[in-house]
Amino acid sequence: MFERISNGWELAKQSLGVLRSDKELLVFPLISGVSCLLVLASFVLPLWNSPYANVLLNDHEVPNDPLAYALLFAFYAVNYFVVVFFNSALVSCALLRFRGGDPTIGDGLSAAVKALPQILAWSLVSATVGTILKAIESRSEKVGQFAAGLLGLAWSIGTFFVVPVLVEERVGPIDAVKRSMAVLRKNWGESIAANFGIGLITFLMVIVLGVAPMVAAGFAFVNDQFVLGGILAGCAVMGMILTSLISSALNSIVLAALYQFAVEGKAPPQFDQSLLESAFVRK
């Protein structure tokens, strides 16, 4: 167990080294996050006084209403498209860096645009799966949630490499899933060990950049130091946003490294091959 945690920490540090070399990669999760908020607002605000708003906000069971499921599907499709598009751009830049290039934001966006038909098709498939899982979850509070959770986990594992497959190999959604599963099964088996260490780095950043300044802000407000409290609270919010961006970028960088290792049989120069080999539990 200790060895896995240590390997995961080292893998996360190597990913962070890549991000230091290409800080502009943070632009992709930033644009993605802002775009997702705009998508949510464009769906929820026109429906604010209707029960459908709660459905889209995921805090309410989906009623047995075809329109509710149609709205949910449309929301999922647009949201998945935004997320996959910018993830594809980031993964493309990471792969370019691994191969000795010097990626720019334009390079990533260009790669994602070239894979636009595949990304669109995948968004529709993902939206269909997401809607089905939500329907299963809504049918029974406990059994439905358990079943949807298991199916969702299986789907996440099977589609782990779909984004790099889409942007690199330009295949359709069904072939992308088959390819993702084949790459995973061939190299590591089918059981993922969550030992990347990115979660630990994220946790530490949350404590340092989010919780600590927020606690300090609380003390400042209690002592009537409202200006200082406001500044510290603002720093906490910015720290949480930065943490989210870094975490998202690191996950995409590791994904790109694992994909290149799986396809080409060797680790990128920025990564240790033994760490990539241990990223999953072998059969």
Q: pLDDT digit string (tens) for 208-237?
A: 888 999 999 998 888 888 888 899 999 999
pTM above 0.75, yes or no: yes
For residue 155, name the pLDDT band (cuts at 50, 70, 90): confident
**Sign of the dihedral defined by the CA atoms of residues 179, 109, 31, 126, in that order:** negative
> What are the structure tokens assigned to 138, written together?
């809504």
Q: pLDDT digit string (tens) for 65-83?
A: 788 888 989 999 999 999 9
For residue 167, name the pLDDT band (cuts at 50, 70, 90): very high
DSSP character at residue 190 = S
Q: Which long-range contacts (CB under 8 A, 24 or more apart) does 51-60 make?
A: none
Q: How much of the chain is helix, strand and coil, in % rounded to 5?
A: 80, 0, 20
CA 259 – CA 106 distance, rounded (Å): 22
Q: Which amino acid is at 18?
A: V
Which residues, 6 or more positions from 167, have their beta carbon under 8 angstroms from its beta carbon? 88, 91, 92, 111, 112, 115, 118
